[in-house]
Structure 1
Amino acid sequence: MNLVRSEFLKIRTTNAWWLFGLGAFAMLALTFLVNALGAYYALSEPTPEGLNPDDAATFEATRDVVYQAANLYTSGQFFGLLFVLLLGIVVITSEFQHQTVTTTFLSTPHRTAVILAKLVAAALAGAGYWLVTTALNIPATIIFLSTQDVSNQLGEWPVLRSILLNLLAYVLWGVLGVGFGVLIRSQIGATVTAVALYLLGTAAGAIFFTLFANWLDADWISDLQYGLPSIASGLMVSGTNIPGQPVFWVGAVVLVGWSVLTGTIGTLITRTRDIS
């Protein structure tokens, strides 16, 4: 616990946490506006005529009020997770950036304990980001749904499940950030690479698997995109199952697997790497 408190002291005494927080807040406001507009049209417009059965089923599923409520309550997740990832990267790379890692490991020779403390601190910081974003999303969503003459849906288990799994996503992305920072010790290099992979990699992966699946006429190939942690995070907070997509728990399993993998690799590398 002393190590965890030390890591929180390092986070609090730098500008990274509140700069990332401001970025997450700005993107949360923008995302909620977009989601609210989408929910307005989804809840008020009928299913367009002329759609094939698959597209019609998908459209009907997204018109479900539980789906829209879960989407609104978890608004800002995509960019919020990016900022949590960056914060986790800073937790570990700042030690190398400012050359304090030698002092850290001399004062605490057990490197595994140090990395575990960083993982815990990053995970708890992610939980803090979730708490703030959820505290903003809940009243905003309740107000919006009331204008549509719809109940707040908080009594529906799929909606509550989405909110709780969103917490898990924020926690695990903090762990992913620490693991990624261990692999690339340069703070600038790690942050730039992480942003590029998160934004461009997500879009490129989704397009690649979709086009490849259409080319080979194999739907299972399209499902491989949910192996990407960013897409898996969105899947796990879906309030209802969308036709043609895996069920929500697949996203949770994928994200847990990535977190365990990166956390384990990061710990093993740090235990054996020369820090001089």
Structure 2
Amino acid sequence: MRLVQAELFKIRTTSLWWIMGIVLVPLYAASILINWLAANVSAGAADQNDQVRVSLEPINVATSLYTSGQYCGVLIVLLLSAIVVTSEFFHLTATTTFLVTPRRESVILAKFGASIIIGLVVWAFTTVFNLIFAPLILKNLGLGAQLGEPAVWRAIGLNALAYVLWAVLGVGAGVLIRSQIAATLVLAITYVIGTQAIGIVFILLSNNVAKWFDKLQVIVPTTASQLMVSGTDLPGNPPRWVGAAVLIAYAVVGGAVGTMITKSRDIS
């Protein structure tokens, strides 16, 4: 626990954590606004396909609103978790850290612990505001707060799991990319632009090769984390548990690889 506290202290002594916090606020506001507008626009659209009709069921609209901010929130967590590792090399404290704590697995586990706490803090921030604003939006849509539905609380809980898993992925990525600047740029660009590019590739494959390619989009981490918090299974998509399984697999592999590399890599 003392090692985890030490890792959190390192983050607090840098300016990046509050910069990320400032960035998160407008991104969250944009996220919940987009979800609100999407529900309004889709509700008025004609000739909706099955997937859109199911997504507009009250429970699915509710789970979408109560998990607003996930897309931008997990990006912030991913970057901060990577910085938990890369800051050691940026500030030239890696050697000292491993001399003070020779068991490297203890250090990396502490970094995982600190990153998971960061992830849960960001999740709590977005969830508190979702519990304030989502009922107002749902009332405006004439759907009711839906807080009595178990699926809503399940989605909120699985959303917390998504933040935790992205935190683990961030530490693994930080081990692979030591440079703090490079890690921040590579992860942000890959998350935002890479996700969109891969999505376009799957759409092209689905339209021109075979329809089942569309279901493979779940292997993209952002798609997996969004799928796992849906209220019901959506037509044409894999079950929600598949999204959770994919994200857990990424986190386990990323965590294991990160730990092994940290134990074997020379520190100078």
TM-score by length of structure 2 reads: 0.96
Q: Which residue of 2 aligns with 1:70?
A: 63
Give the Cα–Cα distance (whole angstroms) in 2 for the partners of residues 64 and 14 of structure 1. 44
Q: Which moved more, 1:80-89 or 1:153-162?
A: 153-162
2:16 is the alignment partner of 1:16 = yes
Query: What is the alpha-carbon root mean square deviation over aligned residues?
Result: 1.2
| Letter aligned with residue 104 of structure 1 | T
2:19 is the alignment partner of 1:26 = no
Give the Cα–Cα distance (whole angstroms) in 2 for the partners of residues 244 and 88 of structure 1. 34
Q: Which residue of 2 aligns with 1:160?
A: 153
Cα deviation, 1:123-182, whole Å, max 9, x if unaligned, reads 111000000110011110111222233321111122111111110111111111110010
2:221 is the alignment partner of 1:221 = no
Cα deviation, 1:185-216, whole Å, max 9, x if unaligned, reads 01111111101110111111111112112222
Question: Is the Cα–Cα contact under 8 Å of residues 42 and 62 in structure 1 kept in the other structure?
Answer: no
Give the Cα–Cα distance (whole angstroms) in 2 for the partners of residues 169 and 253 of structure 1. 11
Give the Cα–Cα distance (whole angstroms) in 1 for the partners of residues 17 and 200 of structure 2. 33
Q: Which residue of 1 aligns with 2:262?
A: 270
Superposed counterparts of 1:1-276, under 5 Å = 1-43=1-43, 45=44, 48-49=46-47, 56-216=49-209, 218-276=210-268
Shift of 1:220: 2.2
Shift of 1:84: 0.5
Give the Cα–Cα distance (whole angstroms) in 2 for the partners of residues 147 and 71 of structure 1. 15
Q: Which runs of 5+ in 2 are unaligned?
A: none
Q: How many aligned positions are there?
A: 268
Shift of 1:14: 1.4
- Runs (4+) of structure 1 exceeding 4 A deviation are none
Shift of 1:59: 2.2
Shift of 1:115: 0.1
Give the Cα–Cα distance (whole angstroms) in 2 for the partners of residues 115 and 152 of structure 1. 42
Shift of 1:20: 1.0
SS in 2 for 1:27: helix
| Letter aligned with residue 29 of structure 2 | A
Q: Which moved more, 1:10-19 or 1:177-186?
A: 10-19
Give the Cα–Cα distance (whole angstroms) in 2 for the partners of residues 233 and 37 of structure 1. 22
SS in 2 for 1:75: coil
Give the Cα–Cα distance (whole angstroms) in 1 for the partners of residues 35 and 222 of structure 2. 18
Give the Cα–Cα distance (whole angstroms) in 1 for the partners of residues 253 and 203 of structure 2. 26
**Matched-pair identity in %:** 47
Shift of 1:229: 0.8
TM-score by length of structure 1 reads: 0.94
Q: Which runs of 5+ in 1 are unaligned?
A: 50-54
Give the Cα–Cα distance (whole angstroms) in 2 for the partners of residues 177 and 32 of structure 1. 24
